[in-house]
């Protein structure tokens, strides 16, 4: 089979391309700058905010994995809209016109807006997102649902929870670095659904093998949720440090988070919510509709995530 992958050199894209090639499939890999994949092969350079893939590039493609997007950075709202929303809708229309069998869009649970309670959320429990990233994903989802409800091309929208694994950047690496610098044990607050990159890639492959008819929207998360304290304890354990001491009072954590928000220009409360907020999601729908089952737990890969090379090299 022939697959096209946008965002091929991203954290998830690299793992997906590697898995698809290992299974003997033809992979057309796109990235904004034309960087190389893990095996050293170059990708096709294509800035999707400026140019669309040509008809020749889409010819014969069975499944289009659209992973490209802007996430973990500060950017103008117009940039989020251009790539995460407008380009997604445009690419799906081009794919349908070219006869692509299935278009898979990697959205995010952030498209569901902020949680209004502490219970586990399903696909329909949404509020309109207030941040540019979540809003752009939400607009893209709605555009796909409205435009392709009667289309022959299968459209699958996946909302993964926080994706973790070796070489991932972001909050887990920041926490790992903090532990090596003597960060005290965080208070026992909050919980967050997460998913291992291996499980997410496995789900993408399952969908590609047997694309469902029509438009489907699924949440994807792992078998367990984690608090910052639990992740901290796992990182301490795997590094041989033993259990940390929680000498910093809760109010000091809140104050420190506010300072970090001001220093980084983020909205007040952003850092605290990342550390101690509760965001729980359910994968019940995708588990019922496919033969995919998440198998990886954070404990299985924490050693690679917490390795000093990840943050100090």
Q: Would you list the DSSP string of 70-117? A: --SS---HHHHIIIIIIHHHHHHHHHHHTT-SEEEEE--GGGG-S-SS
In the predicted model, is pLDDT for residue 177 greater than 90? no
Instruction: Look up residue 69 and give its two tokens.
Output: 């997007």
Domains and CATH numbers, the chain: 2-164+193-222+281-296 (3.40.50.720)
Minimal CA–CA distance to 81: which of 131, 132, 10?
132
Q: β-strand 26-31 against 2-6: which pairing, if any?
A: parallel
- Per-residue model confidence (pLDDT) at position 305: 84
CA dist 4 and 30 (Å) reads 8
Contact in structure between 5 and 67 (CB atoms under 8 Å) = yes
In the predicted model, is pLDDT for residue 311 greater than 50? no
In the predicted model, is pLDDT for residue 10 greater than 60? yes
| Mean pLDDT value across the chain | 92
- Per-residue model confidence (pLDDT) at position 260: 87
- Per-residue model confidence (pLDDT) at position 310: 41
Q: β-strand 191-196 against 225-226: which pairing, if any?
A: antiparallel
Q: Categorize the per-residue pLDDT at 312 as very low, low, confident or very high, splitting at 50, 70 and 90.
A: very low
CA dist 240 and 47 (Å) reads 44
CA dist 91 and 120 (Å) reads 32
Where do runs of H (alpha helix) occur along the chain?
A: 11-22, 55-58, 77-80, 87-97, 132-147, 171-180, 197-209, 228-238, 250-264, 270-276, 284-289, 298-305, 309-312
Instruction: Look up residue 278 and give its two tokens.
Output: 């509760």
Mean pLDDT of 253-272: 85
Q: Which residue has the tokens 């989020």?
A: 80
CA dist 74 and 261 (Å) reads 13
Number of CB atoms found within 10 A of residue 46's CB: 18
pLDDT in tens, 46-94: 999 999 999 999 999 999 999 999 986 678 899 999 999 999 999 999 9
């Amino acid at each position: 089979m022939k697959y096209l992958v946008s965002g091929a050199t991203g954290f998830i894209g690299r793992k997906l391309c590697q898995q698809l090639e290992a299974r003997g499939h033809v992979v057309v890999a796109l990235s904004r700058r034309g960087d190389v994949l893990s095996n050293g092969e170059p990708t096709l350079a294509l800035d999707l905010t400026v140019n669309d893939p040509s008809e020749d590039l889409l010819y014969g493609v069975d499944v289009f994995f659209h992973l490209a997007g802007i996430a973990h950075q500060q950017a103008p709202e117009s940039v989020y809209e251009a790539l995460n929303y407008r380009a997604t809708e445009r690419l799906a229309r081009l794919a349908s016109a070219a006869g692509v069998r299935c278009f898979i869009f990697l959205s995010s649970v952030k498209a569901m807006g902020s949680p209004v309670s502490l219970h586990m959320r399903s696909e329909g429990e949404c509020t309109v997102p207030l941040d540019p990233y979540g809003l752009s994903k939400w607009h893209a989802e709605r555009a796909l649902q409205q435009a392709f409800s009667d289309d022959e091309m299968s459209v699958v929208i996946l909302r993964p929870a926080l994706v973790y694994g070796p070489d991932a950047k972001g909050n887990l690496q920041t926490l790992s670095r903090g532990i090596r610098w003597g960060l005290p044990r965080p208070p026992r607050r909050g919980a967050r659904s997460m998913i291992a990159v291996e499980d997410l890639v496995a789900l993408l492959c399952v969908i590609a093998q047997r694309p469902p008819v029509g438009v489907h929207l699924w949440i994807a998360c792992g078998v367990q949720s984690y608090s910052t304290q639990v992740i901290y304890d796992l990182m301490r354990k795997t590094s041989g440090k033993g259990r940390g001491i929680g000498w910093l009072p809760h109010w000091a954590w809140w104050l420190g988070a506010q300072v970090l928000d001001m220093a980084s220009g983020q909205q007040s409360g952003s850092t605290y919510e990342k550390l101690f907020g509760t965001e729980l999601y359910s994968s019940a729908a995708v588990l019922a509709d496919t033969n995919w089952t998440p198998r990886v737990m954070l404990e299985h890969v924490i050693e690679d995530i917490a390795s000093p090379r990840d943050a100090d090299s």
